[in-house]
Structure 1
């Protein structure tokens, strides 16, 4: 088998190895495609060295086919097309004991805390496996994980048909949140400053606004007849996004914090007080989110596949990651494993 390893200092090596036989409660997946996400870029840049260790196999957005099944595994068979929900909780902490194992206090996020999917074969706990339709395109199936993130964000918001939603940030997750919100029947606008992303969103039928050209609060007030949006999804992880997110929602509106903030950011708490705004955290996904994501991607009524802007061999991962810092026109890059 072939695997790619992060060695530190933005260096990726391609190595040959041996498949790991599954234990009793594990399966081995022959990985077809693995997507690159922002977390993988953070690892590549060395931001997460203290957490991931070195050498490290990245990747957690993947699709593939079951190649081997452990002795205690039921309901899964060799040849099944699958995706991996890369969360391995402890099962014993407060979160796990109260139905929130996706935010386990001791969560092993596979591909970050342990080796991931950017290899030919990946042996994982059977509990992380979701079967997909046998006729589902494995390239599209590699989008299930990020779509599940968006589904969880929208589910956390309580969004319903006819609601108005503002998405701050038009990167891959922002686009997916907007598409999933539209699938729930909401009216959606994306706030973004990157011209390519603005055009990309428009091509998918999503309304957009550039906050450097139009004041976002004024725009939303006009759009909502002065009421404010029902929900704001802050996906940018930026200081301007954090400042404005509480200003665009209505009385008792909801702000869902999707973007990751490495450092504290200023938030307009007065606006939260004035309108009794709810601030909601949203992290990864639950089983139910994965099931809906599989259904949405399989049907593809909202053109999720258009987010795949490049597919390249696993052996080219070094060049791909080197180029992503300056690529202003990429959305989702897949490596073929």
Structure 2
């Protein structure tokens, strides 16, 4: 089989190795497609070298079919289409209060252990979600990031008719906007990249470039005194933190989707003055994956427009170099069986 390895120093290799049998409790997946996410790009830039066991296969946004079953695996059959919810929560403790997706010692498969950017991938059977036979396997590779968006919307307790502002129109931001609108939210997207602005507008969204237009004034004029009921911070940038409390109306909810690795300045007075809520949202739970699978299966939302390019597995180095030099792109997929 072919496998890719992150070697450090912005370098991937493509190797040939023996196909390994699944261990007890594992399944072997014939990987169809694997998407490249922001975390993978951070790995490429060396930001996670202390966490990755270099050299290592990475990747977790995938689709595939079961190729072999390890001892003790029940409820699955060879040939079934599946995706992996890449959370290894076997170290969950009572102090985690049952929230296994954010347990203290959670291991993320594809980061803390080998990932899906290879032809065959062995994973614990408990991570699998079954897919319908008729599903588009390219779109199925979007189920993992879409589950992030579903989790964000659920944490926000979004209700139909509420005013929503999404700060950041990248892949996750646009997915959040699409799910929010599907739930009945009235959505505005804030984004600075003109290519991403054009894509969001082509999907029917109202988009504001905050470097050219006063975002707060625009939202106030459009939405009135309520401004925004829910703000999703997806950009990871300080200017978004500066504006998110201004955009929030009375008892508004702010959902922190982006990862801010360093302490940031936030206007806490606004939380007191307007009784705002700040809600953390990390990865996903089982129900978010099931909702994501349903949304992809229904084919009523144009998820295919988020796929920028599909390349063969052997082109992994080219793909990451392209992403690093092209921040306008959205979702790149590797065809793992090309």
Q: CA RMSD in A?
A: 1.1
**Counterpart contact for 2:234–2:257, Cα < 8 Å:** yes
Tell me the SS of whatever aligns to 1:28. strand
1:39 maps onto 2:39 in alignment:
yes
- Rounded to whole Å, the distance in 2 between the matches of 1:251 and 1:266 is 21
1:263 aligns with 2:257: no
SS of 2:216's partner is helix
> Structure 1: how far apart are the matches of 2:250 and 2:318?
48
Name the structure 2 match of 1:299: 298
Deviation at 1:95? 5.7
**1:67-115 CA deviation, whole Å, 9 max, x = no partner?**
011221221100000111000113432465x331000111110011111
Partner residue of 1:184? 183
Contact 1:307 1:332 in 2 (8 A): yes
Partner of residue 242, structure 1: 241
Q: Using the alignment, how far apart are the partners of 2:204 and 2:19 within structure 1?
A: 44
CA contact (8 A) 2:164 2:228 kept: yes
Q: What is residue 286 of structure 1 aligned with on the other side? A: 285
Q: How does 1:116-135 map to 2 (within 5 A)?
A: 116-135=115-134
Which residue in 1 is equivalent to 2:57? 57
Alpha-carbon contact 2:92-2:104 (below 8 Å) kept: no
- Structure 1 residues not aligned, in runs of 5+: none
What do the CA deviations read for 1:293-327 (whole angstroms, capped 9, x no partner)? Answer: 00001112110111011000011000111121221
Contact 1:90–1:104 (8 Å) recurs in 2: no
CA distance in 1, matches of 2:177, 2:105: 31
TM-score (norm 1): 0.98
Superposition deviation, residue 18 in structure 1: 1.7
> SS state of the match for residue 225, structure 2?
coil
Q: Deviations over 1:218-247 (max 9, x none)?
A: 111112212221100000000101111111
Rate the CA distance shift 1:95–1:115 in 2: closer, same or farther, 3 A. farther
Q: Secondary structure at the match of 1:225?
A: helix
User: Does the CA contact (< 8 Å) of 1:95 and 1:101 recur in 2?
Assistant: no
Shift of 1:328: 3.7
- Equivalent residue, structure 1, for 2:12: 12
1:48 alignment counterpart: 48
> Which moved further from structure 2: 273-282 or 82-91?
82-91
Q: Map 1:1-337 onto structure 2 (within 5 A).
A: 1-94=1-94, 96=96, 98-337=97-336
4+ long deviations beyond 3 Å: none
